[in-house]
Structure 1
Amino acid sequence: MNTVRSRLRWVSISQIVQLVLGLLIVLWAGSYWCAHLGQTHLVVYGAIIHLYGIGLLSVSVVQLVRLAGIDYNAPVLIVQHELQSLRKLRTMCERTLLFLGFIVWIPFAFIALRAIGLDVWLSSPATLWWNLGVSVIIGALVIWLSYRFNHKFEHDSAGAALRAAQAELDDFKE
């Protein structure tokens, strides 16, 4: 079980990195939209990014709590069940964040463009709507493909460390 615990530390480390990234995004986006309260489109850009950061934080916290709750002294079948549950959670979270990533890049890009002097919303609002429409369509297609090739997506979204821990438990059971 020590090997399983060791392998799952890498999962925890990746979630801590994601948590820090989410926290940085939340802090930056929150200060961004608060600094632009007089300009609705900039508040919306910042709020969307802020919500994405909160999503990253939430996903990380939930997975870290699940990881911390694993009782390594429990019977192997129970630990296997907990890891399978964590794997399903990770797959669901990956799909959600993947789809949202197809949308959240737009406000990131438009904020970056504004930083160099081009306010896309003021110069061409249709650009935002076209980008949003195309992003939603591509995001939906990618999500559909993730279900179509579910086994591959679940395998990849679980991560090598979690797969290795599950394989270790399978060997331990035999």
Structure 2
Amino acid sequence: MELDEMKQAWQMLDRRLAAQQAIQWQGFRAGRLTQLQRRLRPLAGWLVLQIPLGVALMAWGIASWGSHLGDARAMAPGLVMHAFGLLSVMIPARTLAMLRRIDYASPVLEIQCRLARLRAWRVRVEGPVSAVIGSVIWIPALLMLAQADADRFGMNLWDHARPGLLAWLVLSALVSLSLVGLGYMVLRRLGKLDWLANHLAGASLRQAQAELEALLRFERENG
């Protein structure tokens, strides 16, 4: 075989190997991205369930303050619950929008950046706000239930409340918030902030990021 023929044969073989590697890479990439989407589905499902709950809290709050117009004391718990319900809708809706903006046909690094922003949102905003709401939501809920019970007898809860009720409520809210802060400080003292961040990010997002890391390693090793 002449030298030119050998060169052509090697070039053809190189092209075939490159084409085969490209096909293998595309297959591996498609499989990993499909798995990544599957990992994120439980998170999306949980967010979808949270939104009706937030709407229900809003409706409860509106019904409460709307039936006590003109009485600021009786309206206050309903207004607070209305605000909590609104946050309980806005936050998961924002997270869901971030999930849906992920373009799985885009470069791997772009997907990684979007997942990193999603993780930062969940750890720095969604998690802390949910912890604060969860620690004090029982207070307006308790007052709304008590006022609803008083309404059956045509009474105003605050006109028949025991002295010091407002101080007790404020103290209870401060204690509840302090427990959240204390829990954070204890975890920080124990060096468990990474564990806390992973917990706030959620298992679905952690698993999705792991799938993407495997894809990036494969891309670097075979690039």
Larger radius of gyration between Structure 1 and Structure 2 = 2
Structure 1 residue 76 displacement after superposition? 1.7
Q: Distance in 2 between matches of 1:169 and 1:150?
A: 23
Q: Bigger shift: 141-150 or 105-114?
A: 141-150
Query: Which 10-residue stretch deviates more, 108-117 or 8-17?
Result: 108-117
Distance 2:157 2:196 in 1: 35
Q: Deviations over 1:82-141 (max 9, x none)?
A: 111111111221101211322221010122233444976431252232232232243144
Correspondence for 1:128: 166
Q: Would you say the 8 A contact 2:60–2:81 is kept in 1?
A: no
Which one-letter code corresponds to 1:169 in the other structure? L
Identity of aligned residues (%): 28
Go from structure 1 to structure 2 and tell me whether the alpha carbon gap of 1:102 and 1:95 turns closer, same or farther (over 3 Å shift).
same
**For structure 1, which runs of at least 5 residues remain unmatched after alignment?**
none
Q: 1:8 to 1:33 in 2, by over 3 A?
A: same
Alignment match, 2:82: 50
Aligned with 1:153 (options 196, 199, 209): 196
Cα distance per residue 1:21-54 (max 9 Å; x no partner): 1111112211221011143222100000000000
- Code of the residue aligned with 2:39 in structure 1: it is R
- Paired residues of 1:76 and 1:169 also in contact (CA < 8 A): yes
Matched, 1:142 2:180: yes
Match of residue 211 from structure 2: 168
The residue aligned with 1:10 is 42
Contact 2:74 2:147 in 1 (8 A): no
Q: Answer whether contact 2:36 2:208 (CA < 8 A) is retained.
A: yes
Aligned residue type for 2:164: A
Alpha-carbon spacing, 1:35–1:138, altered in 2? closer, same or farther (3 Å) = closer
Q: CA RMSD in A?
A: 2.0
Higher mean C-alpha displacement, 154-163 vs 30-39:
30-39
Describe how 1:65-144 pairs up with structure 2 within 5 A: 65-91=97-123, 92-117=125-150, 121-122=158-159, 123-124=161-162, 126-143=164-181
Look up the equivalent residue of 2:44 and give its one-letter code: S
Alpha-carbon distance in structure 2 between the residues aligned to 1:145 and 1:80: 31
In structure 2, C-alpha distance between the alignment counterparts of 1:47 and 1:29, rounded to whole Å: 6
Scaled by the length of structure 2, what TM-score is found? 0.71
Matched-pair contact (CA < 8 Å) for 2:57–2:81: yes
Equivalent-residue separation in structure 2 for 1:102 and 1:15 (angstroms): 20
Greater Cα offset, 125-134 or 62-71:
125-134
Instruction: Work out the CA distance in 2 between the residues paired with 1:126 and 1:62.
Output: 40
Would the aligned equivalents of 1:95 and 1:143 in 2 still touch at CA under 8 Å? Answer: no
Deviations 1:51-98 (A, max 9, x none): 000001110111111011001112222211211111111122110121
Which ranges of 4 or more aligned residues in structure 1 deviate by more than 6 Å? none
